[in-house]
Structure 1
């Protein structure tokens, strides 16, 4: 297993060993010691999984209270995954990192608490699985517009227009969010 630092401090890629032969493959998709080795002190309380078809874009999501740290992966198919630092007072505020996750490399992305998160599906279908450090709280659910021009996220060119939920279409740009509606840099590290 290899740990790769990204341009956003705290956002890490985990590259597990994949053992394959004519029968298929075997991969460890999670090991607590990986996080410990990377200096991450996280306890996961909830696992989630979604299935989406090509062109579906989910995000950019976060929780105003009790921000979630997420360990994400594409269990099947391929996605482009994005983390955006939205922690008020962070020196990296408004910066983002994106990467492809797929069921061939089995890479995982650690997204610390205080980051907005989203992904778009590049394969015909994708199963997206992730572990969370906090329970989902509908009252705290919030988001940032996926195509916020100030963020300038370089989403991959899709063969079809991105398909978003009605909720995701309504998210404001980051500059329209009040500081009180964003996670704190000091509390979410």
Structure 2
């Protein structure tokens, strides 16, 4: 604030309070040098407060001015509200579009998951059937193995009996040969 403005402000404050206007009072109120106040008062305050005419009635002019300012302010506020609403609406539309995109992706993901689940269920059912077949084949193989073991045991017993029979026949045959050979020696010795 310039020195002149400070002095003018101090002068107006003293007039408004109804105090006596002196160079010293204005200087004290403004907080500037006394010479500056004296020069300003010579220039601007030559008339005494009593010489100041009465303020004009500006109520109609002020009413018209306030009305036009009010209309302009209201329009500006409405424009700002419209702009804010437009921004909020655009943000809502963008959010809605993004939400719809995410929902569509979620539906596609769900459909893929259902398809994968169905495929897994088919695979599991096929594996169950194969497992059932393998169990049947294993049971049949076990029965065949058991029958083969039984046949092998029978064959082994038959082999053991055949070997025992063969051993017995060999011994009988050897004994018979030995007896014949002894009988020939005795016959030859007698001769």
* TM-score, normalised relative to structure 1: 0.18
Identify, as 1 or 2, the structure richer in helix.
Answer: 2
Comparing both chains, which one has the higher relative contact order based on Cα–Cα distances under 8 Å and sequence gaps of 6 or more?
A: 1
